Structures are given as C-alpha cells and as structure tokens.
Structure 1
Amino acid sequence: MKRLFSFLAIVLVIFISNCSRIPENNDPILGVWARAAIAENDKDQGTLTERQEWIFNDAYLGRYHHYSGDKLEFYTDFGWSVDNGIYTIEYHGTDMPSATVILKKTNQPETLAHTDGTTFAVRE
C-alpha cells in the first residue's frame, strides 16, 4: 500500500509539473534597445552623453536604465504588452509616462517608433 501511494504521489507531481509550463514568447521586441543624445554640458567642459536603455524580456517585463555620461542616474522595472503590433510600455511605481510604440523592421537597424513616427529607440 505504501508503494502505491508513493507511486501515485510521483505521478501526480509529474502531471502537475507538465501542466504548468509557461508558453514560449518569441516576440521580435525581445532584447536591448537604446537611445542616445549629446547634450552640451553646463560648465562648458565639452559634451555629455545622455543614454537611455530598455531591456525587454520574454515575461512581458523589462528594465530601464538612464545614463549621464558613464554614470547610471536612474533605473526601474517596466511592464510591456502588445496588441495588434502596438506595444505599450508602462513604468509602474514611477511618474514616468507610458509609451506606445511600433516596431519598424524595414530600417537597419530595427527601430521602435512612437505612433506618430518619431524614433523611440534602436536595437542594439
């Protein structure tokens, strides 16, 4: 009887683990996207590069980084979703506004653009 319960417990664990698989996400937005700008430094010491970086993962989450020069100024997590090819990026817990973008595959490198056509970020 003990063997029967042990066998049933093992079968139950295998059954449950097979039913809880997460479907694979192969969305083309996955990866690292960035935008950089050159701004004049306030002290006339040359230029300072402002860089923003978005890392999209397959769990509909990501990480946002903002750099000034080589220094990390700000980072946060974000959530993203897609509906009919339109991506929505939401920065929960911050005062950053949500972004709505589309993926343009025709350009090299690939770009994310705002719905009005302006460039949001390029693939790295």
Structure 2
Amino acid sequence: MKKFLSLMAICAIIFSANCSRVEQNNDPIIGIWFQTGTEISNGSSKSILRKEWIFNDVYLGRYHEINGNNITLQTDFKWSKEGDIYTIEYRGLENVPVDRLKIIETDQGTILEKVDGEHVAIRE
C-alpha cells in the first residue's frame, strides 16, 4: 500500500508540474526595429550606421550599432510598458538616458517614436 501511495504522490507531482503554463506576451513592440541613414565618413571612405533594437517577450532586449559590417556597440536593455508608453533602460551604458517611446502607425509603416515626437526606429 505504501508503494502505491508513493507512486500516486509522484504522479500527482508530475501532473501538477506539467500543468503550469508560461504566460505568452503578444505585445506589438516584440520584434526587430531599426534606424538607418546616418552616414559616417572617414577621409575618403563612407559607411552607413545602422541602429537596431531587438525586443523579446520577457521584457528584455538587445541594442546594436552597426557601422558597415562591424558591430561597434552592443548592449542589453530592459523594457516595460505603462499604458501606451514604453520605457527602455539600457544596461551598461551610463551616459545613455532612458528612452520613453510609443508606437505610431503611418503610411510608411509602424514607427517607434519618442514621446516628444522624434522618430527613433521602424519595424523590420
């Protein structure tokens, strides 16, 4: 009888552990956002600086600055949402202020915009 009760307890633990679900985050900011167009010239050569934000569903992300084919800056960030305003806090970059952004739908596509109206990035 003890073996049967032990077996039932083990089965109950396994079933209860498998029933827990991770809540799925379907926020519209999740994905890759980018900004291009900043031209950098070094004497005779010119290259384009691309800024890229990758948002994931656990309120974290990665920021890259890519000059030509080289990643010149890479850091992680934490993001949160309050109403329709997103806050991005960059980790490891003390001189970079916190960004407060909102998503805007335009004819050109979906755009990330600072709360003061400055365009930051477009969805890839």
Q: TM-score, normalised by structure 1?
A: 0.90
2:5 matched to which residue of 1? 4
1:102 matched to which residue of 2? 102
- 1:93 Cα deviation after fit: 2.6
Aligned length: 122
1:120 matched to which residue of 2? 120
Partner Cα separation in structure 2 for residue 105 and residue 10 of structure 1: 50
1:67 matched to which residue of 2? 66
1:57 matched to which residue of 2? 56
Q: Deviations over 1:72-119 (max 9, x none)?
A: 112111110000100001112322221110000234310000001110
Q: Which runs of 5+ in 2 are unaligned?
A: none
1:15 matched to which residue of 2? 16
- 1:123 Cα deviation after fit: 0.4
Give the share of equivalent positions with the same residue, in percent: 37
Query: Pairwise CA RMSD of aligned residues?
Result: 1.4
- 1:64 Cα deviation after fit: 0.8
- For 2:120, give the aligned amino acid: F
Q: TM-score, normalised by structure 2?
A: 0.90
Which aligned segments of 4 or more residues in structure 1 are displaced greater than 3 angstroms? none
| Equivalent position SS for 2:9 | helix
- Please say if residues 40 and 49 of structure 2, whose CA atoms lie closer than 8 Å, have aligned partners that are also in contact: no
Partner Cα separation in structure 2 for residue 74 and residue 93 of structure 1: 11
